[in-house]
Chains A and B, each alone.
Chain A
Amino acid sequence: MGEAKVGSRRVLTRDTFPELFRALVESGYEVVGPTVRDGAIVYDRLRSVEELPIGWTDRQEAGTYRLERRNDRALFGYNVGPFTWKKFLFPSRERLWTAVRKEGSFTVETEPTNGPPVAFFGLRACELAGLVVTDRVFAGGPVADPGYSGRRSRVFRIAVQCGQAGGTCFCVSMGTGPAVRGGADLVLTEILSPGPHRFLLEVGSEAGADVVDRLPGPSVAAGSEERARAEEIVEATANSMGRRMETHGIRELLRDNLEHPRWEIVAARCLSCTNCTMVCPTCFCSAQEEVPELDGEKVERWRRWDSCFNLAFTELHGASVRKSGLSRYRQWMTHKLGTWHDQFGTSGCVGCGRCITWCPVGIDLTEEVAAIRASPGAIAPKAGGKT
């Protein structure tokens, strides 16, 4: 015990891989990770390695997502699905506090922020980057969100380097993947060939070392062969991105093109369905609602996900500021790729491609950026949008 260190590497065979899961459970973690449900790979509570999407892959294109059988028994042979880890840190619905009438006044009881430690099993590099982004939003400013911060402080991160790129992936453009560069407690690379099905396991933190020390049997240091193979795998993934986006000067590009005719073209397709914001690992907008009990003595305050595509999102004195679909799409994209830098010192986009895949009409933000970049400075005749 106590021999694993940050930076140490081991090899797990497919047969010994469940030991990692067991070590997490023994360490007290509730394990959540990818599993197949309703024709998609979602993130949920896992009871064993067998619940992973073994032998499945996902085929993704703009507006398309299909699960398909692989011709092997890979555990991580797919990319990202409609769910993000965000929901475990920033739930789609969350009670903030409860107020009770008392002696002519009222008292406010806030929700406890304690809970069990949770292991995120199978984070992709883009998703680790997404965590860094939401950390800045909810815990990096002058005021930290207690719910998010509490849950986040108990998260153990097991990352997986992608062995393939999805059709809508562009993490290379965003500088977030596919290689995991820090931010994880443990990093896995699945090696399917040549040789036996096995995993390179790298230790990224003290907490990760503690888990590795619980693995049974003699420690087997990774050979140069596995390390070289892992690098090849990541390299191949990086070279097969489904999408790419030129990010140079993108903040200024968008800031200076708020009246570009392209917004009208994309707005004509956008349904304002909010899908892109719901599947995005970094979209953080929320609304609050008051849930009173019938007797009027007690009331609960709930927070729920909201979207800048909703008409009521900007309601002010009975009228919405952003009435047109154009203004709402423009807000989403310029925020995600542009003003996010002003606000949080980072892009809001990690290149996961979910917004492209899950857009019912296949709007592709990489294409939108390219279109604006192709004719910067153009002005729409009806600049600002129709109302």
Chain B
Amino acid sequence: MTDETDPNVVEAVREHPFFHGFDPEFVHAICRQAVERHFAAEDLLAKEGSVAEVFYVVLEGKVALEIGAADNPHLTVQTVGPGEVLGWSWLVPPHRWRFDARALKPTRATALHAEVLRRTLAGHPAWGYQFLVRFMPVLAERLENTRIQLLDIHAR
């Protein structure tokens, strides 16, 4: 593993709402090997079943999270946009994507390296805890939204 970090990437991540208030040293540490990726509309950011090697920090555009359903092979259950983050499969074993993520329009995202993230969080428990405290509400909100979707409130 190299210590290469792109200052532009560090700057973009530091400016992202999800990372507001984090220790600059921490941001710098997790940006090792991170790259900014550009996707055209229809491009896949993640493929269900494949190894989740990155954690996306969305900077621009819109990404659909798709699940294959019996009556619809590409059912979008959520869209993610600028200011949001995408993916937790990199943190949860077996580290494989649980859905497809597809750009709906030209999209720009920082791809943080999963292995770097895991090591940094594990090696510095205070940062790790801080990160999880920030990450949990995102998960909780998505879980709650999923529950509301499950209620299918418009069906009645």
Chain A residues in contact with chain B, CB under 8 A?
Answer: 317-319
Contacts and interface: CB of A to CB of B under 8 A. Distances in A.
A211 B156 CA distance: 60
A205 B156 CA distance: 56
Contacts of B156: 317-319
Ordered nearest first, which 3 A-B pairs have the shortest CB separation? A317-B156, A319-B156, A318-B156
Interface in B116-156: 156
Interface in B11-68: none
3 contacts: A317-B156, A318-B156, A319-B156
Contacts of A317: 156
A319 B156 CA distance: 9
Contacts of A318: 156
**What DSSP secondary structure best describes chain B's contact surface?**
loop
A314 to B, nearest CB: 14
A318 B156 CA distance: 8
A319 B153 CA distance: 13
A79 B156 CA distance: 49
Interface residues of B, number: 1
B74 to A, nearest CB: 30
Nearest to B156: A317
A317 B156 CA distance: 6
Nearest to B155: A317
A53 B156 CA distance: 55
B122 to A, nearest CB: 41
A313 to B, nearest CB: 18
Contacts of A319: 156
A256 B50 CA distance: 55
A283 B156 CA distance: 31
A385 B1 CA distance: 59
A134 B84 CA distance: 59
Nearest to A317: B156
A319 to B, nearest CB: 7
B5 to A, nearest CB: 54
A319 B151 CA distance: 15
A319 B155 CA distance: 13
Interface string B95-108: 00000000000000
B54 to A, nearest CB: 45
Nearest to A319: B156
A197 to B, nearest CB: 66
B134 to A, nearest CB: 34
Nearest to A316: B156
Nearest to A318: B156
B135 to A, nearest CB: 33
A321 to B, nearest CB: 12
A163 to B, nearest CB: 57
B156 to A, nearest CB: 5
A318 B155 CA distance: 12
A74 to B, nearest CB: 59
